[in-house]
Amino acid sequence: MDCSRATSQTRSPPPCERSPRACASLPGRSVGSRRIEDLGEFDLLDLIRAHLGQRLSTTVRGPGGDAAILETETGRLALSTDAAVEGVHFDLRFMSLADAGWRAVVGALGDLSAVGAEPRAVLLSCGFRGELEVASVEELFATLDALGEEEGFDLVGGDVVASPHAVFFDVVVVGRLTLSSSVDRSGARPGDLLAVTGTLGGAMAGLASLRRAGKRPSDPSPAELDYLRPGSPLRPGIALAACPIHAMTDISDGLAEELLALARANEELAFVVDPTRLPVAEGVDAEAKESGRDPAEMALSGGEDSELLLTVLPEDYSALKRALDALHPATRLTVIGEVIGAPADAPAQQRTLARSQDGEIRPLALRGFEHFRRSGR
Amino acid sequence: MDCSRATSQTRSPPPCERSPRACASLPGRSVGSRRIEDLGEFDLLDLIRAHLGQRLSTTVRGPGGDAAILETETGRLALSTDAAVEGVHFDLRFMSLADAGWRAVVGALGDLSAVGAEPRAVLLSCGFRGELEVASVEELFATLDALGEEEGFDLVGGDVVASPHAVFFDVVVVGRLTLSSSVDRSGARPGDLLAVTGTLGGAMAGLASLRRAGKRPSDPSPAELDYLRPGSPLRPGIALAACPIHAMTDISDGLAEELLALARANEELAFVVDPTRLPVAEGVDAEAKESGRDPAEMALSGGEDSELLLTVLPEDYSALKRALDALHPATRLTVIGEVIGAPADAPAQQRTLARSQDGEIRPLALRGFEHFRRSGR
């Protein structure tokens, strides 16, 4: 099993002294409480650009012109966008604008990591309410620049527009595939193990705790931090994609939802999860007790964890775990189930299964996040 | 003067029988009035993908996976995003969702054309209100696919999220720079002529007329069509960028606003417009009479025309016009002023000038579209 290419890095380790994830906030350069409706558009863009560094030699032209320009090597580029809307995906009553932007960018990086692409550029379009404080916009971009330093990307462009009712972000990520073939959701095989990085349910528990508090704590708990400033799966994803795994996807829409996506992308296969094996995050048990829910169900349907789900041959699993341990010792890898054959005509819902404690296999009760459905339908 | 590279095309002419710009609407595949809140997310995405073709050999993987994948040649990529929000940038009471999406994509293509990049991919993130009709979403993507056929791009990805208060679009355009050096806003020289493609003010006149009508006419006037389905400046821009022009930018934010952007990007230069030379679009005079405005002022501050502004040496102008006539006979090019030297310390506002009828040069009265400013400030 050859994971050697996973060690190649095109950049040096970040020089930051403290992790931006651990910071309650990064200081803006503004004082007082100016609002962005007090600035002209040019002034706002100048202020944003003042916070953005450039670190990749492939960035020929960054923000400010009609278009950003990248130097590209021959090969393949991965492109993805991820949109998030205030009141739907985030709530600024108990998180900062910087938290919301961090979550949006880490979510988009998850799409790059799922195909094993090295980041080349990030663009961020923002819809801002005019009454947002200038200092919060400065904190947002200083925080994203620090994230760029840590994960190795430049913020090369984007757009800033007025959105009177709700803040929104749309994150564009551009990455380079360094491998000859890219991994994706399809490619799973019967007999594969189903494994997941990190821990599950933490972000959901953190969100519940933040909702109860109604404001952002000055010293967030680990679960709250899982929600406010999730770790990026980008570097572990690049390492895993260099190994002979069969299928991989990020699970920011929730494990149950992504199992369904795997089932849709892999016909004649069923995905069986053992709920007792799910790596439940710190703080989930306490939150489950508080809210009368089941910890495993929170881990399954959480929908906010920035982790990766993959399938791999059982005989390759130990080497995969050793490779990940060597490169990213902080990233756990846990087997949570298996892939089995299924009838060709079975719909995806019937190929997403859970093994109950008595060993029986039943359809997984899905509580996926369906964006547009009216409740009660 | 060598414009020969402008003739190189990587694709054959589009096979469409009628221009999507002229269509009142393209048929969706749905009947009845289902709303998108009646669909699950997967169903909505399946329905969208059913309308999207793939035409570029560089598109390795289109919509549906974690990330789109492009084959890239060695060289430079241009990237830009453009966001538009219902109630701020467009109004669905008198335009269709397809019109709004068309405007957003053509606006973003303008950024590619301003740097002379050949399109490689478009990604579209959409925030939809749940009560939108499924048929309107189908018409949107069928229309954008037809635009892709005409302009030579694939819609390779994006995101669809719920946005309860206002529809929004964020368009990502990716283009390949085929020239060794790309043109941008900077690079203007004293003595240059200032020229503009197409006609000005039409979109603003069309918008005013649509607002008065309060609904989308079944047979829009030329000015209304300038607003609802603006022609794309992409192909003329690619042709112009292959010629030895000095600076170029698109003017979707309005001519006056873009003159200011030119002044900011070119220190020690002033940009002088002769309002009597502005190529005023059909329908602007009538609208000016109706609303008691000045046609030249509407052409200057319109803010909705998808045209290009450039500077070029006077001795190169005739050859430039001949090259454009040969490749894109429908695209007008008009000299509207000149570039002159200015003191090093003069702010950009004082370097954006108009020549009055008595020959005197005065600061241009700017009515730029300032997204966040409260009115009266």
pLDDT band at A2 (very low <50, low <70, confident <90, very high): low
pLDDT band at A100 (very low <50, low <70, confident <90, very high): very high
Closest CA to A120 of B38, B101, B77, B354: B77
Please give the interface size between A and B, counted as residue pairs whose CB atoms are below 8 Å apart: 233
In angstroms, the separation between the Cα of residue B58 and the nearest Cα of chain A is 9
Give the span between the Cα atoms of A172 and B170, in whole angstroms.
10
Chain A residues near residue B115 by CB distance under 8 angstroms? 65-67, 69
Domain ranges (residues) in chain B: 34-63+74-177, 193-363
Higher pLDDT among residues B64 and A21, named by residue: B64
CB contact under 8 Å between A115 and B65, yes or no, is yes
CB contact under 8 Å between B168 and A114, yes or no, is no
Give the residues across from B161 on adjacent strands.
Answer: B127
pLDDT band at A195 (very low <50, low <70, confident <90, very high): very high
Q: What is the mean pLDDT of chain A?
A: 85
Name the CATH topology of A34-177: 60s Ribosomal Protein L30; Chain: A; (3.30.1330)
CA A141 vs CA A38, A46, A175, B84: distances in Å: 19, 12, 21, 21
At B352 the pLDDT is: 93
Q: Six-digit token pair at B331?
A: 């695209």
At A375 the pLDDT is: 41
Give the span between the Cα atoms of B90 and B93, in whole angstroms.
9
Q: Name the residue among A66, A78, A260 with its Cβ closest to that of B67.
A: A78
CB contact under 8 Å between B68 and A84, yes or no, is no
| B-interface mutation test, from A59, A163, A176, most B Cβ less than 10 A away | A163
| Direct distance between the N- and C-terminal alpha carbons of chain A, in angstroms, rounded to an integer | 48
Q: Which CATH architecture has domain B34-63+74-177?
A: 2-Layer Sandwich (3.30)
| B-interface mutation test, from A307, A372, A375, most B Cβ less than 10 A away | A372
CA A126 vs CA A192, A216, B276: distances in Å: 41, 22, 38
- Examine the pLDDT at A108 and tell me if it is beyond 50: yes
CATH 3.90.650.10 is right for the domain spanning A193-363:
yes
CB contact under 8 Å between B79 and A73, yes or no, is no
Burial of B91 (0-12, 13-18, 19+ CB in 10 A): middle
Considering chain B, what percentage of its residues have pLDDT values greater than 70? 87
Please determine, for the modelled complex, whether the ipTM score is greater than 0.95: no
At B377 the pLDDT is: 32
CB contact under 8 Å between A85 and B161, yes or no, is yes
Chain A residues near residue B75 by CB distance under 8 angstroms? 71-72
Chain B residues near residue A68 by CB distance under 8 angstroms? 78-80
Chain B residues near residue A83 by CB distance under 8 angstroms? 125-127, 159-161, 170
Chain A residues near residue B130 by CB distance under 8 angstroms? 372, 374
At A371 the pLDDT is: 46
